[in-house]
Amino acid sequence: MADDEAVRVVEVSLDKAVQAWFDDSSRSDGPVPAPPRFVLVCGTPASGKTRLRHAKYAQGYVTVDAGDIFRRLPGSEGMDFPGEHAWLVDTIGNTVAARALEERRHVVTEVFGLDQPGTVELIEAMKAAGYRTEVVGVRASVEQSVALNEERGLDNVSSYFTDEFNVRWLRDAAREYVESKKQG
C-alpha cells in the first residue's frame, strides 16, 4: 500500500447498531394486541417521503431504511452510498427486518417504486406474514421537488438508491417468517 492511501477502520457493535432501531413503541402486543402494521411510503425522489416518514412514523414503528442505517455508521459522512459500508448496511438491515417481523413489530419503510413487481412482491409477502398493510403515496410538483432536493443535506440518500435494499430485506424476512411458521 502506498503511503498516501488511507485505511479506514470502522468499529461497530452489530448488537448496538440493530438495537438502535427498536423501542417499546413499535410492539404490536401492547395492552390491546392487534395485527402488526406495515407502512410503505412511496413516491418519486425528492417528493418528501423521508420528511413524512420522520414526521408521522418516527414513533411506533421500526424503520427499515438503508439510507438511515448508512447515515448512522461512523465514517459515512461524505461517502457515496453504500460505498465500502455496503456489507455492513446489508447485515444490519437484514437483521433489523428479520427481528422486527419475528417480534411482530410495526414496520415502516420507503421506496421509490422503480421496481414495481418487486414492490408488489413486498406488499404481498408482508400481507402473507400477517401484517396490516398501508401504502402511503407522496406527490410533489416539479418545483416542490427541486426545492426539497436543494434543502437536502449532503448525507441524504435518495430512495432511488435504497429501494433494492429496503424491498429485499423486508420481502425476504416476511417469506422467512411465513416459512418458519409453516415448519412449526
Confidence of residue 134 (pLDDT cuts 50, 70, 90): very high
* Cβ within 8 Å of residue 51, ≥6 positions away: 148
Copy the grid coordinates of residue 91: 447485515
For residue 112, give the nearest of 154, 167, 152 by alpha carbon: 167
Tens-place pLDDT, residues 136-173: 988 877 787 777 667 766 556 677 778 899 999 999 99
Backbone phi, then psi, for 151, in 5-degree steps?
Answer: -80, -15
Question: Domain 27-183, what architecture?
Answer: 3-Layer(aba) Sandwich (3.40)
CA distance 145 to 142: 5
Beta strands in the chain (DSSP E): 37-43, 62-63, 107-111, 132-138
Look-up: residue for cell 413486498? 122
Copy the grid coordinates of residue 31: 395492552
Tens-place pLDDT, residues 44-97: 888 888 888 989 999 999 999 999 998 888 877 777 778 888 899 999 999 999
Global pTM reads 0.86
CB–CB of 146/45 below 8 Å? no
CA distances from 135 to 37, 38, 87 (A): 11, 8, 29
CB–CB of 46/149 below 8 Å? yes
Has residue 2 got a pLDDT over 60?
no
Q: What 3 state SS string does 88-132 have?
A: HHHHHHHHHHHHHHHCCECEEEEECCCCHHHHHHHHHHHHHCCCE
Residue 124 carries which side chain, given as an amino acid letter? Answer: E
* Spans of all domains in the chain: 27-183
